[in-house]
Chains A and B, each alone.
Chain A
């Protein structure tokens, strides 16, 4: 487990000093984060790192996970899809179950949550907890990790009353913020440069994935790492690969994904992906366990180009991970990918499989551009999307909350 000082080598000692100074007035506070899964997905990964570091800074921080039944996860998956714009009708029975599961979790978590100075509730799954804690003493913040720029209105209308009582909300991009009666803060997420998924690897560990997954190291490799989710458009990636392969016959594609415990749709999408690949030996479809962080790290490092052809994306931490490894990213022109993929600098934004194929061909034919983009990409992430920046913004927000949302807070 890393401490805050371990990040000085990468982020700089001034950054660490800043964090300590910002945390000073928050020492002794009790903070609780609540989400719906301990493993799988970007939220759990961030919390696994953020919580120990906040403790290391002297802020007593806990991470609670709500539990639910299959209907609960089915319902919250519908929420997820609907908030990202899908027209989904959710049966009333699922909504009743969603509220009942939250009530059960509220009873279990009541002592911890009522006593906390600040509670961060992540995503819609535990959102109703606030309305079930009338005796709460602290400030409650709803953290939305999803692209809610154009939600399916009936579902947003259902969820909104659960959110209006929060003291503040946090969104990854300004475009996602909604009409709510409290301050809506903008904090993009981050990656942890010291985690297994991002740490530097010995060459032997990168080379090992070639043999393990039957990848030819002499031929170019295109990779997309993400859950098997339609919004990630894995079938579109296969189409882009096919279009590119006409011009780069040696091209190989790896689709590497796992499944999160709160995603019941993954299997159906995986079947669609297998059908689209149609047995092509140069397409490797990997279903990796949720703790295969070093394998994913190695696959990203082994790749020439990383793709993230999402049609909707909250932020796209897999993009950040690839950029950090010095890989240019061809990404869908949506959500947080736009914040990271800067056309002609760190990669290319595309809207179609055809566009993705065009950019793949360009990069494979211009190796010097590919290399220089990769270098820029790493610097860009170091300056903007590391965990230390994320932590600083959480601390800043907490200081502001303690000072009643004052526009200017001068700490002595």
Chain B
């Protein structure tokens, strides 16, 4: 998508999400498990990643909506902690991520003698999202220009290239990496640095800073070596 075969250009895109209520709700862990089994995988995606782009506090106590709900509405801190450490980047597909969430909930259900219920106005509401991708009319030819391009990108552009890319590219890679890999191994060092960045436990603002530091640092070092 970003890799021009001739010019090898990288086009910076941006995106916006629209959140849609699915109508599915849960009031306890058993209902949450049942709805998780039936809900579209785009909803699982939204509850792990969508929080980065929708209005929410930047320092959430828990990184996914399931954990936050177990903590806030069910007061089940054990379930909340177990759900919170699920890192979606470590699962090759959303179906495997779904299985893991269901497994954690079932484990907790097996331990529970009584079922914790949320208040009626604190039920878990399943959301899914639609995405609109648009062109920023900015593109670069030289990977060194990423050092300026990433800090100038909006946080949603970073989301599109570094997070959304993983579910729409065949190898599950981010767009920056896919582009850099098209230069015959010339930027493997930078690719390795990008691979070290975990996008899940930071806000998009922090992610942009980490990416900028990784890319900027890499090209500064390259420049020193070349002197």
Contact = CB atoms under 8 A, between A and B. Distances in A.
Interface of A: 14-15, 17-18, 21-22, 24, 149-150, 171, 174-175, 177, 179, 183-188, 334, 339, 342, 345-346, 379-380, 383-385, 389, 392-393, 395-397, 399-400, 405-412
Given A18-B16, A175-B122, 8 more contacts: A14-B153, A17-B154, A175-B121, A184-B20, A186-B127, A345-B57, A389-B55, A392-B16
A185 B58 contact: no
A410 B121 contact: no
A120 B144 CA distance: 46
A170 to B, nearest CB: 10
B55 A21 contact: no
Q: Select the residue from A22, A187, A339, A396 with max chain B CB neighbours within 10 A.
A: A396
Contacts of B123: 175
5 contacts: A18-B154, A149-B121, A186-B19, A384-B56, A400-B132
Contact of A179 (B23, B58, B127, B154): B23
Nearest to B154: A14
B14 interface: yes
B136 A21 contact: yes
B42 interface: yes
Contacts of B131: 407-409
Contacts of A22: 16, 132, 134
A340 to B, nearest CB: 9
A390 B23 CA distance: 23
A174 B132 contact: no
Contacts of A380: 57-58
B156 interface: yes
Interface of B: 14, 16-21, 23, 42, 55-59, 120-123, 125, 127, 130-137, 152-154, 156
A400 B18 contact: yes
B93 to A, nearest CB: 17
Contacts of B156: 18
A21 B133 CA distance: 10
Contact of A409 (B19, B121, B133, B136): B133
Nearest to B57: A342
Contacts of B130: 400, 405-409
B127 A174 contact: yes
A47 to B, nearest CB: 20
A159 B20 CA distance: 22
Contact of A185 (B20, B23, B153): B20
B41 to A, nearest CB: 11
Given A21-B136, A407-B42, A409-B133, A185 B154 contact: no
A187 B16 CA distance: 12
Contacts of A183: 20
A177 B133 contact: no
B125 A411 contact: no
A184 B132 contact: no
Contacts of B59: 345
Nearest to A390: B55
B55 A188 contact: yes
Contact of B125 (A24, A174, A346): A174
Nearest to A409: B132
B17 to A, nearest CB: 7
A150 B153 CA distance: 42
Given A14-B154, A407-B131, A411-B132, A171 B21 contact: yes
B135 to A, nearest CB: 7
B121 to A, nearest CB: 5
A18 B157 CA distance: 10
Nearest to B18: A396
A185 B131 CA distance: 13
Contacts of A171: 21
Given A21-B134, A188-B55, A408-B131, A174 B121 contact: no
A46 B135 CA distance: 28
A171 B154 CA distance: 26
B14 A21 contact: yes
B133 A185 contact: no
A360 B160 CA distance: 42
Contacts of B21: 171, 174, 177, 184-186
B163 to A, nearest CB: 15
B19 A185 contact: yes
Contacts of A384: 55-56
A411 B131 CA distance: 11
Contacts of B58: 379-380, 383
B118 to A, nearest CB: 11
A17 B42 CA distance: 28
B132 A17 contact: no
A334 B134 contact: no
A21 B160 CA distance: 15
A77 B207 CA distance: 47
Query: Which 4 A-B pairs give the minimum distances between C-beta atoms?
Result: A177-B21, A174-B125, A384-B55, A186-B19
Nearest to A399: B132
B135 A396 contact: no
Contacts of A177: 21, 23, 125
Contacts of A406: 130
Contacts of A185: 18-21
A254 to B, nearest CB: 28
